[in-house]
Amino acid sequence: MFLELISYILDNIASPERLNTAMISLLFVSVFGGVFGSFSGNANPFLWVMLDRVFGGIAKKTYKVGRSVSSLHFRGTIILILYIFFTALVTFAVVLLDKALPLSGFMTPVLLTCVLSGGATWSALIKLHRAIRAEDKKGKSNQHLPKGSYYDIAVSTRTNLNTTDTHGIIRGGIGFVSFSLDKGIIAPLFWFLIGGLPAAFIYSGIAAARWSLSKEGFAKGIGNLALALEGLLGYIPQLITTVILAFAALFTPSARLTRAVMGLFSKGAGQASYGEGGLPLTALAWGMGISLGGPVEDRDGSVLKRAWIGSPKSTAKVEIHHLRIAIYLSVMSYILTFAFLLAGVMAWRFVVLLS
């Protein structure tokens, strides 16, 4: 029985069926998310939104800075277990639904979209772009934006954007490009290709726990385990995301592949830790020739002393045209992702012809 299971898993890794399903899901979330926007103002995957509705309040109330690190670590472990257990229940229901109602094979890509972000990211960034442009036309670019105009980005990044200026808001929006591509597209698709819907959902549940608890690595113990576990599962997908972002810079005006490569191999300052965005954020900042990151306050009031990411010669005073470049680069990244999936299907067909 065990050997049969292993054989089944190996035979289906990156199979043509899964590659086709991944392409359909990617197209669906790109179009649907781009047209209708985010769910409840959160541009992250739907599963994240659902888990945050269930456990977000508990996580917030549990995080008491005055408690010891060991105490917070224990609490974070319990919450992580709850995230995984609830996700496992959802996964079980998803698998049953997929088998009971296959819809000629269309149910699988529909269910897979629940762990993908997609065009909702573009919708949130475009909304932010329009708000900032409206303020610029009024000659008030140095003032805070109207309430609600950058709500999607604030919720999706868990950042209190009222505590920063327009440059900081734009940096947050640009940084979300690499995060959403990495955790909301590449990683769940990678695990889907490896282990189908169960692997994609379990990874996404762990990533949701990391998003909720880790505070980008600055949480006092409560998010350490979630960040470490997601880092273990997300290491290879992070490398794939970095390659895609670097090559996307090749097709993006004002961005440079050579700068992205230089940033990835540079030593010293300007590199992002895994919790703060890792290699994808590093490639994005260097490729665009800007500085991202910087200290910020999250929505719970915690100060995140993030490092500055990018070349020492780059500027942190990013403007609205940098946001337009980031949106374009994000679209190119999705196109390249689809192209890589299509290349996988073509490679399978070539192998079949040879055999």
Whole-model pTM: value is 0.92
108 occurs within a structural domain = yes
What's the whole-number average pLDDT of the chain?
A: 89
Give the pLDDT score at 228: 95
From residue 17, how far is each of 193, 200, 342 by CA, in Å? 9, 15, 12
Query: What is the pLDDT at residue 125?
Result: 94
343 is a domain residue: yes
The per-residue pLDDT for range 115-130, each reduced to its tens digit, is: 999 899 999 999 999 8
pLDDT at 274: 94
Domain that holds residue 176: 15-347
| Amino acid symbol at 277 | G
- Whether residue 8 lies inside any domain: the answer is no
Residue 90 domain-assigned (yes or no): yes
- Give me the pLDDT at residue 350, please: 84
> Given this model, what pLDDT does residue 64 score?
81
Judge whether 2 lies within some domain: no
Could you tell me the pLDDT band of residue 141, with boundaries at 50, 70 and 90? very low
In a domain, 7, yes or no: no
The share of the chain scoring above pLDDT 70, in percent, equals 93
For residue 291, pLDDT over 50 is answered with: yes
Residue 10 pLDDT: 54
Confidence band of 153 (pLDDT split at 50, 70, 90): very high
Q: Is the confidence at residue 8, as pLDDT, over 70?
A: no
Provide the pLDDT for residue 173.
Answer: 94
Domain count, the chain: 1
Residue 154 lies in a domain: yes
Give pLDDT, residue 221. Answer: 84
Does residue 132 or residue 148 have the better pLDDT?
132
pLDDT digits 0-9 by tens, 178-219: 999 999 999 999 999 999 999 999 999 999 999 999 988 888
**Residue 35, token pair as written in the block:** 């047209």
| Local confidence band at 144 (pLDDT 50, 70, 90 cut-offs) | low
- Structure-model confidence comparison of residues 131 and 230, the more confident one: 230
Rounded mean pLDDT, 127-152:
69
Greater confidence (352 vs 34) lies with 34
In a domain, 216, yes or no: yes
pLDDT at res. 211: 95
